[in-house]
A = this chain, B = another copy of it.
C-alpha cells in the first residue's frame, strides 16, 4: 500500500494510514490475535497459524516489533529460542482491533444479506 501522491489525510504523516496499513496485510491481525493470549515463540506461532510461511511470519513480526507493538526476546541457547510478547502498546492496540472484530461478528449476517440482495447497477438511470 504505497503512497505516490498526496491527499488530505493520506499523507505519510497521517496516523490513520500509518496504522491501518498494517491491518491491510494478511497476517498482522492473526499474529496479534495469537499473541494476545500470551507469549509465544516463533515455532509456536507457526503451528498456530499453520499456513503462514516462515518468511511472512518473520516479516510480520519485524513490523510489529518496529512499531513497538511486540517485544522480541532472544535466548542465546542451542537451538535458539525467540519469544514474542505483546507490549502495552500492542495490547491497547489489539483491544481496538477486537472491537472491530466484534462488530464484524455481530453484523456479519447483515453484510452477507446485503451482498446476496445486491444487484449490479444497470450502467445508468434505472429507468
Contact = CB atoms under 8 A, between A and B. Distances in A.
Q: Is the interface of A mostly helix, strand, loop or mixed?
A: helix
Interface residues of A, number: 60
B8 A114 contact: no
Q: Count identical subunits in the complex.
A: 2
A80 interface: yes
Given A9-B30, A114-B67, A15 B108 contact: yes
A26 to B, nearest CB: 6
Contacts of A69: 111
A7 B69 CA distance: 23
A41 interface: no
A68 interface: yes
A49 B3 CA distance: 13
A104 B19 contact: yes
A76 interface: yes
Contacts of A49: 7-8, 10
B19 A100 contact: yes
B5 A51 contact: yes
A71 to B, nearest CB: 10
A96 interface: yes
